[in-house]
Chains A and B, each alone.
Chain A
């Protein structure tokens, strides 16, 4: 896995605050204490049950592909083609990210197992690295 996190000197910041740069890096959601619904963003109340209490819950780094597309005509300044995947995480949660190193539909199968990986997606003018996450096919990541 490139750019392993945690022992590098450059200051790093996760691309979104639901990516936690511990060892190993993983995702964390806000879990509704009433119904266990998971949210990546801050919520005023649970959209499922209306509860207002949340706890942090670490999510699995492994999951299965639920949906995908290969984007050829991308937003301005976004390199294309790239593959977007919706992943059902083992033990709960659904997340969207890029499927790394795959740009052909022939490499994607129903329920294909994938594993989270991180990489540096950008550097600001102070040298702070923004760390993003994506998924790799488990057979590639193994």
Chain B
């Protein structure tokens, strides 16, 4: 008898970085083909394909990918959902399996951001007469960025951090410790965009971007892709024992958006939808935060990681500052967080991020993470959040090693 469980049987990610000789589809192909090989499958075995990407989302990248790796005629879903795009592509694939449309699925996330920089491209200079007129839903007569506060990502996540800090007494040193940890972790990850350790002092004294975040407390832009191959429980039972024993179960898959709050129109609330997603995921998986062996969470900025300790229930309410001070989220700690180096050093090619964190956790649950392996990890949690807003949480479990191997 088969359950409604969905399993990861193959996964891959490209190194994250800047690849001038590869375009978006090259990267997507690399990740997809390698994930299929890892699954001992081919594109012909896949019943559905979902492809996530943000910056070229109107290019139908799923079909562009098929033209490079196999036009098999199966349904293709092109997915965009802010920084949760990759994770949402996985959910689309999973939902297709759950609906019985297919029993195998390939989900891919890819992005090329190149050197667009943290704040996007410079505005074009104008050569027409400057004449104020009210534009848009706010009737604004000139650009409000820098006049009515900031709405750019470094500032938004800095404000999310200071809101928590003003309430709970977190210091800039505690925020900086998050970056110290993730950069230290990244040294062990050959796929990370940056693999350089920084001292706490170096982080605190680095170029200020948006207080309290300095440059090493902000993730880089970059290029990369990641992929997973999913199968239904029934399909898994038909596969080779070598594939089955490396299979990782998706125990929870949850997507949320941001419920209305009064402050949301001026400062996105990144907390409520993360808490809602985490709580639903724990319930779906039937486990609690104390059961989690490792976490890959969305550290787009150091301030973000710290508040998500609380949002994902990894620490006592209000206790995220003490949590980092205690060493708990370090790889030797109680709940290792972002042992990949996180977005801060591994990188954040937006469409790939929500699948790359599944790749990381799967590697550990299979015991295949090499030098950075968290020994004995049986359960892992992944989290991404993008402003729009969208949040995805997945809980993965290693396949039990004894008693269940039949047929």
B residues in contact with A82, CB < 8 Å: 146
Contact present for A16 and B159 (CB under 8 Å): no
User: Please, which residues of chain B bring their CB within 8 A of the CB of A92?
Assistant: 262
A21 within 8 A of B: no
Assess whether A17 is interfacial by the CB under 8 Å rule: yes
B contact residues, range: 35 or more
Which residue of the partner chain, among A14, A110, A128, A134, contacts B166 with CB atoms under 8 Å? A110
Could you tell me the distance in whole angstroms from the C-beta of B217 to the nearest C-beta in chain A?
A: 12
Q: How far is the CB of A116 from chain B (nearest CB, A)?
A: 12
Q: Is A94 an interface residue (CB 8 A)?
A: yes
Verify if A67 is at the interface (C-beta below 8 Å from B). Answer: yes
B15 at the interface (CB under 8 A from A): no
A67 pairs with B267, CB closer than 8 A:
yes
Closest Cβ neighbor of B145 among chain A residues: A75
A125/B155 in contact, CB under 8 A: no
In the assembled complex, the Cα of A82 lies from the Cα of B208 at a distance in Å of: 12
Q: Do B146 and A126 touch (CB < 8 A)?
A: no
Asked if B140 is an interface residue, CB under 8 A from chain A, the answer is: yes
| Residue pair A48, B260 in contact (C-beta under 8 Å) | yes
Per-residue contact bits, chain A 95-132, to B (CB 8 Å; 1 contact, 0 not): 11110000001000011000000000110111010101
One of A76, A79, A84, A95 near B150 (C-beta < 8 A): A84
**A96 in contact with B209 given A66-B166, A84-B150, A84-B159 (CB within 8 Å):** no
Q: Does B401 contact A (CB under 8 A)?
A: no
Residues from chain A with Cβ under 8 Å of B266 in the complex: 40, 86, 94-96
- Which residue from chain A places its CB closest to the CB of B258 in the assembled complex? A47
Q: Is A13 an interface residue (CB 8 A)?
A: yes
In the bound complex, how far is the Cα of B144 from the Cα of A134, in angstroms?
11
CB neighbours of A98 from chain B (8 A): 146-149
**Known contacts A105-B212, A122-B142; A69/B162 CB under 8 A:** yes
CA A92 to CA B266, docked complex, whole Å: 14
Give A52 Cβ to nearest chain B Cβ, in Å. 15
Report Cα–Cα, A138/B60, bound state, in Å. Answer: 54
Interface string of B145-169 (1 = CB under 8 A from A): 1111111101100111011001100
Given A69-B210, A72-B211, A110-B166, A41-B138 contact (CB < 8 Å): yes
Knowing A67-B163, A84-B150, A121-B147, say if A94 contacts B210 (CB, 8 Å): no
Partner of B142, one of A38, A80, A110, A130: A130
Instruction: Name B138's contact: one of A17, A84, A124 (CB within 8 Å).
Output: A17
Please measure, in the bound complex, the distance between the C-alpha atom of A88 and the C-alpha atom of B122, giving whole angstroms: 32
Q: Which residue on chain A has the smallest CB distance to residue B218? A: A73
Contacts A17-B134, A72-B207, A73-B207 given; does A86 touch B212 at CB 8 Å: no
Interfacial chain A residues near B262, Cβ < 8 Å: 37-38, 92-94
Instruction: Decide: A73 and B154 in contact? CB cutoff 8 A.
Output: yes
Partner of B130, one of A85, A110, A125: A125
B95 nearest CB across to chain A (Å): 26
Contacts of A76 in B (CB 8 A): 119, 122-123
Compute how far the CA of A82 lies from the CA of B166 in the bound complex, rounded to whole angstroms: 19
CA distance A65 to B263 in the complex (A): 12
Q: Which residues of A sit under 8 angstroms from B209, Cβ to Cβ? A: 71-73
Q: Is B388 an interface residue (CB 8 A)?
A: no
Verify B142–A77 contact, CB threshold 8 A.
Answer: no
Which of B146, B159, B209, B260 has the largest count of A CB atoms less than 10 A from its CB? B146
Chain B residues within an 8 Å CB radius of A71: 146, 150, 152, 154-155, 209-211
Q: How far is B136's CA from A74's CA once the two chains are assembled, in angstroms?
A: 23
Known: A40-B265, A121-B147, A132-B147. A105 touches B211 (CB 8 A): yes
Encode contact with A along B115-131: 1 for CB under 8 Å, 0 otherwise: 00011101100000111
Least Cβ–Cβ distance between A29 and chain B, in angstroms? 9
A72 — nearest CB in chain B belongs to which residue?
B208
**Are A86 and B149 closer than 8 Å at their CB atoms?**
yes
User: Roughly how many angstroms separate A18 CA and B158 CA in the complex, as a whole number?
Assistant: 25
Residues of A within 8 Å of B142, CB to CB, are 15, 121-122, 130
Q: Whose C-beta in chain A lies nearest to the C-beta of B159?
A: A67
What residues of chain B lie closer than 8 Å to A7, measured between beta carbons? none
Q: Is A78 an interface residue (CB 8 A)?
A: yes
Q: CB-defined interface of B91-118 with A at 8 Å, one 1/0 digit per residue?
A: 0000000000000000000000000001
| Least Cβ–Cβ distance between B387 and chain A, in angstroms | 14
Inter-chain CA distance A18–B6, complex, in Å, is: 50
- Please give, as numbers and ranges, the residues of chain A lying within 8 Å of B145 by CB-CB distance: 75, 78
Contact A13 B162 (CB under 8 A): no
What are 14 A-B pairs at a CB distance below 8 A?
A15-B140, A17-B138, A37-B262, A41-B137, A48-B260, A72-B207, A75-B119, A75-B145, A86-B159, A88-B263, A94-B267, A110-B167, A122-B132, A124-B132
Which B residues form the contact surface with A (CB < 8 A)? Answer: 118-120, 122-123, 129-132, 134, 136-142, 144-152, 154-155, 158-160, 162-163, 166-167, 172, 207-212, 260, 262-263, 265-267
- Which 4 residue pairs of A and B lie closest in terms of their CB atoms, listed nearest first? A17-B139, A78-B146, A84-B149, A69-B158
